[in-house]
């Protein structure tokens, strides 16, 4: 059995893998949103995650023998319900945001998830947020404020950016709910999260008459959901077991930068002056968050 530093290092690798898997989701979703409504897209992404992980469980004999709800207690029910509800709200806000702003901007704004996750973890779950993390949060907020501006001269606020920040707030809350379930089997958590949130978003899509799409776009969205959401969530929850919600989010902060890079490569988006300035500030904030995480790591393993 792995102990001490090995567990921490493996958890860090899991958090980075979670970031990379999630990172390519925004630019590819941006393409699919030309053919699928934001509501249906949100549903398909989570259904892809839930169905994909369920298949993994069914294929694995060891996983198949465990009851999905076996590792949860009655007190966990409130966190499961909140997790599912927030995972219905967050991707819908993100998908709407992606229809109104660049995928690179939306990707970078996802770093607000660190801010909301850390503050909520501190207030409600008594996680310690150190000095470097507070400075990191300050830089991320400044960079985010720049990204909400459409240009320097007119100071026009980007509506799409506000939707993405709303999604980050929802995921910040959701991260802390999921953290309370991280002692359970990560695969089971993803299945519950994926199928529950996918069904909720599907009901909304149907009620708004936003259900129609060509079958191969639906299939592609499901596959994207399996990798970008399913595999990402699996690694994220696995990392949370030993790093905690706030510090897992610090490593997960690589996802927005990966998403921005993928956006430039895949979508050929224009790099603006505001984006470059925000990118530099956001990078500094992320570095400080990871630096604090390294200090926390040493205290855990010393």
CB atoms within 10 A of CB 299: 8
pTM: 0.81
Question: Which tokens sit at 70?
Answer: 């076996």
Closest by Cα among 149, 175, 169, 173 to 161: 149
- Give the pLDDT of residue 1: 46
Contact 149, 97 (CB under 8 A): no
Residues of the chain under the 70 pLDDT cut: 1-4, 61-69, 150-156, 245-246, 249, 290, 292-302
Q: 149 pairs with which residues across the strands?
A: 157
Q: Which domain holds residue 245?
A: 4-301
For 149, list phi and psi in degrees, rounded to 5: -85, 135
Question: Which tokens sit at 266?
Answer: 């895949």
Counting the structural domains of the chain, the total is: 1
Q: How far apart are CA 39 and CA 135, in angstroms?
A: 36
Q: How far apart are CA 182 and CA 51, in angstroms?
A: 20
Q: How far apart are CA 239 and CA 228, in angstroms?
A: 16
- Give the pLDDT of residue 144: 84
pLDDT digits (tens, 9 = 90+) for 194-217: 999 999 999 999 999 988 889 999
Q: How far apart are CA 223 and CA 232, in angstroms?
A: 13
For 3, list phi and psi in degrees, rounded to 5: -135, 165
- Give the pLDDT of residue 155: 52
């Amino acid at each position: 059995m792995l102990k001490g530093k090995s567990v921490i290092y493996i958890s860090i690798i899991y958090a980075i893998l979670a970031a990379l898997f999630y990172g390519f989701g925004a630019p590819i979703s941006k393409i699919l949103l030309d053919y699928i409504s934001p509501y249906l897209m949100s549903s398909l992404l989570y259904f892809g995650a839930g169905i994909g992980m369920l298949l993994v469980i069914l294929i694995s004999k060891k996983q198949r023998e465990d009851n999905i709800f076996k590792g949860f207690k009655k007190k966990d029910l409130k966190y499961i319900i909140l997790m599912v509800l927030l995972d219905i709200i967050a991707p819908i806000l993100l998908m709407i945001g992606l229809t109104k702003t660049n995928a690179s901007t939306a990707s970078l704004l996802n770093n607000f998830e660190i801010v909301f996750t850390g503050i909520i973890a501190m207030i409600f779950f008594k996680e310690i947020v150190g000095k470097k993390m507070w400075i990191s949060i300050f830089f991320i907020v400044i960079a985010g404020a720049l990204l909400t501006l459409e240009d320097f001269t007119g100071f026009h606020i980007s509506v799409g950016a506000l939707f993405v920040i709303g999604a980050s707030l929802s995921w910040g809350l959701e991260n802390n709910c999921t953290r309370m379930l991280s002692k359970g089997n990560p695969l089971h958590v993803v299945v519950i999260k994926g199928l529950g949130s996918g069904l909720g978003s599907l009901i909304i899509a149907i009620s708004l008459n936003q259900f129609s799409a060509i079958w191969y776009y639906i299939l592609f969205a499901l596959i994207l959901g399996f990798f970008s959401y399913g595999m990402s969530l699996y690694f994220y929850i696995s990392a949370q077991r030993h790093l905690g919600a706030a510090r897992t989010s610090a490593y997960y902060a690589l996802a927005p930068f990966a998403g921005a890079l993928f956006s430039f490569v895949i979508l050929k988006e224009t790099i603006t002056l505001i984006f470059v300035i925000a990118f530099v500030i956001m990078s500094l904030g992320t570095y400080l968050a990871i630096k604090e995480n390294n200090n926390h790591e040493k205290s855990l393993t010393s």
